[in-house]
Amino acid sequence: MEDVVQSLSDGHELIAFRVGRQEFCINVMMVREIRGWTAATTLPRAPRYVKGVINLRGAVLPIIDLAIRLGMPGSEPTARNVIIVVQLSHRQVGILVDAVSDILAANGAVIQPLPDVTSDLVKSFVKGLLPMDGRMVSLIALDRVLPPEELEAA
Amino acid sequence: MEDPLAAIRVTFFQECEEQLSELESGLIAMENGTAESETVNAVFRAVHSMKGGAGIFALDELVRFAHVFETALDKVRSGSLEATPPVVAIFLRAADILADLVRAARDGGAVDQARVADVVKAFDEIEGQKEIPGSHEEEMVADPSEAQDNVWEVTFTPYPALYAKANEAALLLRELNRLGETEIKLDTSLLPELLELDPEGAYLTWLITLKSDCEESDIRELFEFVEDDCRLEIGRSETEGFAPGTVITGDNGFKFEFFPPMEEEIEEETEVKVVEKKKEEAAPKPVEQALVHASAVQAMVTKAETANSVAPTIRVDLDRVDRMIDLVGELVINEAMLSQRVLEAGINRASGVAMALEELEHLTREIQDSVMAIRAQPVRSVFQRMPRLVREVAAMTGKQVRLVTEGEATEVDKTVIERIADPLTHMIRNAIDHGLESTESRIAAGKPAEGTVRLTAVHRSGRIVLEVADDGGGINRSRVRQKAVENGLILPDAQLSDEEIDNLIFLPGFSTAAKVSDISGRGVGMDVVRQSIQALGGRISISSRPGYGSTFTLSLPLTLAVLDGMVVSAHNHTLIIPLGAIMETLKPRAEDVFPLDGDLNMLALRGGYVPVVDVAHCLGYSVQHAEPEQSVALLVEGEGGARAVLLVDAIHGQRQVVIKSLEANYRAVPGIAAATVMGDGRVALIVDVDAVVQNAGAESNAHTAELNNLEISGGAA
């Protein structure tokens, strides 16, 4: 997480995307590619936010429905949905979002802390709020987006 | 890591392994009488290169022994020692010791000095060589002023290829210096102006005058590895003596009138011989023509093989190859998808686009085959370990054993090769220890005193089939049966066919050896062999004829990267079930299914009962149980031999699938072994049969165990 904050001051770019009515952003350096939704193969006994796996040029890529992961009601993905392929340490993971909305320059942006009323689930992902052209964009950390190894079901 | 020599050291030991197997196969050929004249040279070269490499790393013990070995081999090469069977036997023992020395140098540890001394002594005896090991070279280097009968003039002109192969002229010259006193002159007359100079060209010629008592062959030997990449002329000097010790290098104005013109013929020597041989063969009597033709072909094959063994190779990281295999697999899928799309778009099959696509398809298949071939290696490397094993086990058991191997060139994936060595070792030990009778019983039974163990490899329908056959007494069925009853594996009154009795030896907890022997009874039985074979997706079977011997047959996939699978569907999910685990498919009838333990159903199958696993339910795809009579049932067997019947909705056929890891980007999924990508680009999951079977077993442990026994005993219920 510090990593994310650090990179902001370095003047890196952020990629912003929409999930439901909210807007989130991650460091653009984490993104490997952005692709359209393709039907995923369901994994047995996986948490509900794991949509399944798809074939990414020969590698098996798990797809996480970010809406459900963040506790929002999910919806059946359509061809208009977008998968952002991100690199999390040695793994690649596809993040299912509604749409990519913007590329933001982080220069001079001041990260504002989350209010105390935020739920623990959101707190574990959202690291701060960025005011951007009159919109509120949540800076999100994805390192805990995958289910933990020992967890069996959602 | 810091030590730059460490990497070279690793390469050296890798090369040693290769040289050792070359050595072993050469010696075996000499033993069997199938040796060509080139074989002795190859054997000699192998020992010589190991000695050279070991010298760099100051592995003195290895150098000393290799030297003694090499000296003896050289005598065979020069014809002063005949390679009689006892001599070759000593060579084989020496090769074993050399292998031990290499491994001791690599992994640490010591070598049995008594064995080394034995062989060294044996060498002394066979050749009357009383030389103290290791002193040979030092003498030459240390005392160059001793009798110098000959003055050799050597002209050495490297071709660019010599440098391209990373040979170093200076090292060769230095080596030459070891043979005696040298005077080296550099002829740079061919060196062009800097502007015209090809940086990768070769323009230099060295003229070396060597004062030494050595033979011409000694000089040639130094250049052995570069002989094809340079012009080498060796002649005896007319002029006696020169100012000793003067080494002139880089003398551009050097004129070489001192040196009489060198004779070209020496250089061509080897080739001339070959031509002569061919001439002889080219003029046969008509009757013998076919025969001679065959031998000419044989000669060509041998020549090709020789050429093959020195063909340039590169060492590549396995990861890089695997990455390429992944990508090519993806290319094949993409190509199939593209073809599909083109057809869907209504483009005529005869159109240019469709034809070009077809070309592309051929090309992709070819690329796939070639890429897979990179990982494939001949089973030779495993087979070559076996003669030594046979010698050792034969010595321990006091039996006379001959090992016959066939199909060494059969290729299979590297990972498979690595993992079949142990089971094969075990099976060959077993064949000698348990399979073959003692020499006396063999003679009494009218068989040759020497037992034969035959190890063969062959490709059969996309798999590799390995056979270990002995001509021993066959399986003692009454003893096997008695043992199985004693160990509680079968009921005393069970009715078993001969084949069923033979297969009892694969059961866990079975060992026929009355007492645990040093050789095969290390608490590891045939059940372990079977498990390791099954873990590779293979099967093992046995056939035995009393009095004539037993044959173990292993059938293995050619690679672990692909798997033969049955494509099935369960509750709208496409799944792959490894074909190796499937015993049979059947259509269950409702009246054959009996409930047991709540959720668990048992299927009556030929007098026994097998637990039923509803795949969709087991994997959580469906909460309801499928109706058995609406489903297709697959009888599967897990690694431990436990059986279950898997219920699926439908079978869609068999296909080879490329195994993809789920853990790489996600994590292990219970009940799923891996994933694969289907022709439509979608991911399908490969069922972990063991986990699913155990899952069924876990629900009713006691019953399963009991019923398995019933199953084995042929339905004694």
Q: pLDDT tens, B382-404?
A: 888 888 889 888 888 888 899 99
What's the gap in Å between the CA of B283 and the closest CA on chain A? Answer: 59
What's the mean pLDDT in B45-65? Answer: 83
Q: What is the 3-state secondary structure (H, E, C) of B52-73?
A: HHHHHCCCHHHHHHHHHHHHHH
From A53, which residue of chain B is nearest by alpha-carbon distance? Answer: B683
- Asked if A147 is an interface residue toward chain B (Cβ–Cβ < 8 A), one would say yes
From A54, which residue of chain B is nearest by alpha-carbon distance? Answer: B683
**Nearest neighbour of A41 by CB, restricted to B327, B667, B685:** B685
Residues B94 and B71 in one domain: yes
Token pair 């008594």 is at which residue? Answer: B114
The 10 Å Cβ neighbour count of residue B497 is 9
In angstroms, rounded to a whole number, what is the distance separating the alpha carbons of residues B514 and B518?
12
Supply the ipTM of this predicted assembly: 0.85
Residues B273 and B158 in one domain: yes
B546 found inside a domain: yes
* Domain boundaries, position B551: 379-557
- Asked if A20 is an interface residue toward chain B (Cβ–Cβ < 8 A), one would say no
pLDDT in tens, B263-276: 444 444 444 444 44
B486 found inside a domain: yes
Looking at residue A8, its pLDDT comes to: 57
Q: Which of B127, B154, B173 is the last residue of a domain?
A: B127
**Nearest neighbour of A60 by CB, restricted to B660, B670, B671:** B660
CB contacts < 8 A, A to B, total 77
Average pLDDT of chain A is 83
Residues B196 and B61 in one domain: no
Express as a percent the part of chain B with pLDDT over 70.
Answer: 79
Domain of B117, CATH number, reads: 1.20.120.160
Question: Please, which contacts does B217-221 make with residues 24 or more away whose CB atoms are closer than 8 Å?
Answer: B217/B78, B218/B179, B219/B152, B219/B154, B219/B176, B219/B179, B221/B48
Q: Over the range B577-592, which residues count as b (16 or more CB within 10 Å of their CB) and which as e?
A: bbebbbeebeebeeeb
Average pLDDT of chain B is 76
Looking at residue A63, its pLDDT comes to: 94
Q: Which of B272, B288, B307 is the last residue of a domain?
A: B307
Token pair 């007098």 is at which residue? Answer: B607
Domain of B690, CATH number, reads: 2.40.50.180
Q: Are the beta carbons of B683 and A91 separated by less than 8 Å? A: no
pTM higher than 0.80: no
List residues of B whose CB lies inside 8 A of any A CB: 326-327, 329-330, 333, 573-574, 619-621, 660-662, 664-667, 669-672, 675, 677, 681-685
What's the gap in Å between the CA of A56 and the closest CA on chain B? Answer: 9
pLDDT in tens, B332-358: 777 877 887 887 888 887 788 888 888
Task: Decide if B168 contacts B158 (C-beta within 8 A).
Answer: no
pLDDT in tens, B137-156: 443 443 444 444 577 788 88
CA-CA distances (angstroms) from residue B193 to A32, B197, B203, B332, B693?
52, 6, 11, 52, 78
Token pair 């058991």 is at which residue? Answer: B397
What's the gap in Å between the CA of B510 and the closest CA on chain A? Answer: 38
B208 found inside a domain: yes
Residues B359 and B292 in one domain: no
Q: Which two tokens stand for residue B429?
A: 């030990």
**Nearest neighbour of B621 by CB, restricted to A44, A58, A92:** A44
B351 found inside a domain: yes
Residues B390 and B338 in one domain: no
Q: Domain extents for chain A?
A: 7-147
Domain of B496, CATH number, reads: 3.30.565.10
CA-CA distances (angstroms) from residue B410 to B307, B312, B428?
19, 21, 19
- The Cα diameter of chain B in Å comes to 106
Phi-psi group of B131: left, alpha or beta (phi > 0 → left; psi -120 to 50 → alpha; rest → beta)? beta
What's the gap in Å between the CA of B617 and the closest CA on chain A? Answer: 10
Residues B567 and B541 in one domain: no
Residues B537 and B622 in one domain: no
Q: Are the beta carbons of A62 and B665 separated by less than 8 Å? A: yes
Q: Are the beta carbons of A40 and B672 separated by less than 8 Å? A: no
Q: Are the beta carbons of A44 and B671 separated by less than 8 Å? A: yes
Residues B575 and B630 in one domain: yes
Q: Which two tokens stand for residue B270?
A: 């080897």
In angstroms, rounded to a whole number, what is the distance separating the alpha carbons of residues B59 and B65?
10
From 2.130.10.10, 3.30.300.30, 3.40.50.720, 2.40.50.180, which CATH number describes the A7-147 domain? 2.40.50.180
B98 closest CA partner among B38, B46, B26, B135: B46
Q: Are the beta carbons of B662 and A60 separated by less than 8 Å? A: yes
Task: Decide if B494 contacts B563 (C-beta within 8 A).
Answer: no
Q: Where are the alpha helices (DSSP H) in B451-600?
A: 477-486, 498-503, 526-535
CB < 8 Å from B in window 107-146 of A: 146
From B616, which residue of chain A is nearest by alpha-carbon distance? Answer: A44
Q: What is the 3-state secondary structure (H, E, C) of B629-670?
A: HHCEEEEEECCCCCEEEEEECEEEEEEEEECECCCCCCCCCC
Residues B623 and B640 in one domain: yes
CA A62 from chain centre, in angstroms, equals 13
Lowest-confidence segment of B193-202, B232-241, B675-684 by average pLDDT: B232-241
Query: Best residue in B665, B680, B682, B687 to probe A by mutation, most A CBs within 10 Å?
Result: B665
Name the domain count of chain B: 5
**Nearest neighbour of B669 by CB, restricted to A44, A59, A92:** A44
Residues B424 and B552 in one domain: yes
B717 found inside a domain: no
Q: Are the beta carbons of B670 and A53 separated by less than 8 Å? A: no
Phi-psi group of B706: left, alpha or beta (phi > 0 → left; psi -120 to 50 → alpha; rest → beta)? alpha
The 10 Å Cβ neighbour count of residue B153 is 21
| Chain B neighbors of A58, CB-CB under 8 A | 326-327, 329-330, 333, 660, 677
pLDDT in tens, B473-503: 888 888 888 888 887 777 887 787 888 788 8
Residues B366 and B390 in one domain: no
What's the gap in Å between the CA of B515 and the closest CA on chain A? Answer: 46
Q: Which of B557, B576, B591 is the last residue of a domain?
A: B557
DSSP letter assigned to residue B413: E
- The Cα diameter of chain A in Å comes to 46
Confidence of residue B641 (pLDDT cuts 50, 70, 90): low
B226 found inside a domain: yes
Residues B385 and B440 in one domain: yes
Query: H or E stretch including B223?
Result: none
